[in-house]
Amino acid sequence: MVLRKQTIHKLKSSGNMPKHIAIIMDGNGRWAKKRGLPRVAGHHEGVNSVRDIVEVCGELEIEVLTLYTFSTENWRRPKAEVSALMKLLIQTLQKEIDELVEKNVKLIVSGNLDRLPQDVGEGVREGIKRTEKNTGLILNMALNYGGREEIVHAVRQIADQVSQGKMDPQKIEQSTIENFLYTANLPDPDLLIRTSSEFRISNFLLWQLAYTEIVITDVLWPDFRRKELFKAIKAYQRRERRFGKVSDQLTVS
């Protein structure tokens, strides 16, 4: 406990903490396969990783944690697995919501909730409502989310505004598009973590990741706990974020 507090204090005192961390939680199936277990066992163990990472992000005073919970492509998985994932999602929400409220975590969702099973959609909306006044960590679940679909959704909304004469197409800027994304009120991720050694972003936050620092780890998601998060943050803190500038321009005179 003392060592954990020291590590958290050291990270925070560095002055270069990410405000928004996004994670592609990959490797549940491989974790289960290595142990001769059904894939759903990996998903269940992955929930424990979620719990630990949410807790430590709160302790680190991270502003936003976005978790790639279920993608639009995940519907292509076997029906039994999708059904198990939906059941696990609602069970986890029901079990954890009181603690989220207690720890001042605000739950939001990026994605299309309309396609979810009715009980899951209702459970998610209830969780959002119960935590809407919380002022601590924002836990953003990317649920039934796809980056390309998000952009298409934004473009359609903007086109509708233009067709109604409410928007001048010549005045559409980057900020205009950002205002119609699911993440409209959130800062772009500073740090993206992907587990299980996969080197791709898998249709995740395609617009928002333009200048995000990326850390890839070979750790499978069910084994990813705060120790691994600390390593990723330390890697982030060693990097120089130039946003198109050169190093000399970042030097404070």
Q: What is the CATH number of the domain that holds 189?
A: 3.40.1180.10
Stretches where the chain sits below pLDDT 50 are 253
**195 located within any domain:** yes
Gap between the terminal Cα atoms of the chain? 40
| Cα–Cα distance, 189 to 205 (Å, whole number) | 9
Q: How many domains are there within the chain?
A: 1
- Annotate 60-115 with DSSP letters as a single string: TT-SEEEEEEEEGGGGGS-HHHHHHHHHHHHHHHHHHHHHHHHTTPEEEEES-GGG
**244 located within any domain:** no
- What's the whole-model pTM score? 0.93
Is 52 a catalytic site residue? Answer: no
Give pLDDT, residue 56. 97
Is 26 a catalytic site residue? Answer: yes
**9 located within any domain:** no
| Cα–Cα distance, 142 to 112 (Å, whole number) | 9
> Given 52, 74, 112, 203, which residue is catalytic?
74
**245 located within any domain:** no
**27: containing domain:** 16-238
**252 located within any domain:** no
Q: What's the one-letter identity of residue 119?
A: D
Give pLDDT, residue 2. 64
Q: What's the one-letter identity of residue 234?
A: K
> Given 26, 28, 144, 190, which residue is catalytic?
26
How many CA atoms lie within 13 Å of 246's alpha carbon, on the beta-carbon side?
1
- In a 3-state reduction of DSSP, which class is residue 140? strand
Give pLDDT, residue 178. 98
Give pLDDT, residue 245. 59
Give pLDDT, residue 49. 98
Give pLDDT, residue 4. 76
**1 located within any domain:** no
